[in-house]
Amino acid sequence: MAKTNLAALLGFLLCLAAGCGPQKPEPLYGSSAEHSTYAERYPASMAAVRTRYADDEKRARESMGKLDAYPDELNAPSYSHYSEVVKRADASGKGGDFVQSMEETQAVQRFYDEEKQTIQQKVGGSVAYAAKEKQCEVELYGPVAGALDKAVEKQLEERMRAHNEAQRYIEDHQDVLGKANIEKLQKQADEIAITSYIAHVHLKQHKAELEAMIEDASAVQSTLDRTINEANAVLQDPNASKTAKDVAKKRADTAQAAKAQTEVEVQQAQAAVKEIEPRITQLEADYQKALDALLAKIDEKAKQAPAAK
């Protein structure tokens, strides 16, 4: 029996050494590094990921700094229920349902931010045309643009809250939490869930995205070289039309600019990835410390609260 157990143990260790342990799942889709459209956007996309990481880390730290003041914003809630709101908001931020909702929300928000001017112009133009048809002489572009911004912001907020268990808990316990506190509690639950999401999930997603893009660097450079060579071949072809040469010139210029920026961005991304891991670890620890301090303050306020009659 002892020999059998020893053999099994040795076999298990050898299997691990040979890479028979749990393996990373195969990606569901391949790299686009050989595609010119991706390669041309590659350096700008990499810079955008680094920027989003820095912005999210900053937002999380700013939000963490406000947690201690949260209990002072409320007027005599049921502190046991308030504590439950905080715990559920934190747990939601780490849960798959909220994470998926945030990914969808952020994708929509990025799209709207990038296309806002065009969307506002088209909607504003349609409204202005309809008003003119009815002989209504009034400036509508500004109000329409503002209304669009507010509508998108409100709908994204509602979508996010629908996936935050703390928001449901607040709605179910309005009476004991105090109806005058509900709006502030909803905002606090938003911020706690988002901060938990950033600290535990989103920064790691940024890191993984940067690492995947770094792996594409060599293939992207080859694609840009190929694009430049193909464009130059058209430019040097005496039989190519002016239209074809104009397009080729645009392709060559775009690829050259991307090629010049790619090396710089890759170096910055490689340096960032080395720094990100310890920063994420520290942020997680600091967030947990701030959350524990908030819960401790709520418990202290509960002890100081007048006994219920």
Residue 40 has pLDDT above 90, yes or no: yes
Identify the band that residue 9 occupies on the pLDDT scale cut at 50, 70 and 90. very low
Lowest average pLDDT, out of 27-31, 57-61, 129-133, 158-162, goes to 129-133
Residue 248 has pLDDT above 90, yes or no: yes
pLDDT digits (tens, 9 = 90+) for 111-143: 878 887 888 777 767 766 676 666 666 565 677
Residue 16 has pLDDT above 50, yes or no: no
DSSP assignment of the chain? -HHHHHHHHHHHHHHHHTT-S--PPPPSS---TT-HHHHHHHHHHHHHHHHHHHHHHHHHHHHHTTGGGGGGGSSS--HHHHHHHHHHHHHHHHSHHHHHHHHHHHHHHHHHHHHHHHHHHHHHHHHHHHHHHTT-----HHHHHHHHHHHHHHHHHHHHHTT-HHHHHHHHTHHHH-GGGHHHHHHHHHHHHHHHHIIIIIHHHHHHHHHHHHHTHHHHHHHHHHHHHHHHHHHT-TTS-HHHHHHHHHHHHHHHHHHHHHHHHHHHHHHHHHHHHHHHHHHHHHHHHHHHHHHHHHHHHHHHSPPP-
Identify the band that residue 306 occupies on the pLDDT scale cut at 50, 70 and 90. confident
Identify the band that residue 109 occupies on the pLDDT scale cut at 50, 70 and 90. confident
Confidence (pTM)? 0.82
pLDDT, mean of residues 148-158: 85
Residue 151 has pLDDT above 70, yes or no: yes
**pLDDT over 90, % of the chain:** 71
Residue 29 has pLDDT above 80, yes or no: no
Would you state the pLDDT for residue 31?
A: 87
Domain boundaries defined on the chain: 37-301
**pLDDT over 70, % of the chain:** 84
Residue 19 has pLDDT above 80, yes or no: no
Mean pLDDT of the chain: 87
pLDDT, mean of residues 94-100: 94
Lowest average pLDDT, out of 22-26, 42-46, 144-148, 170-174, goes to 22-26
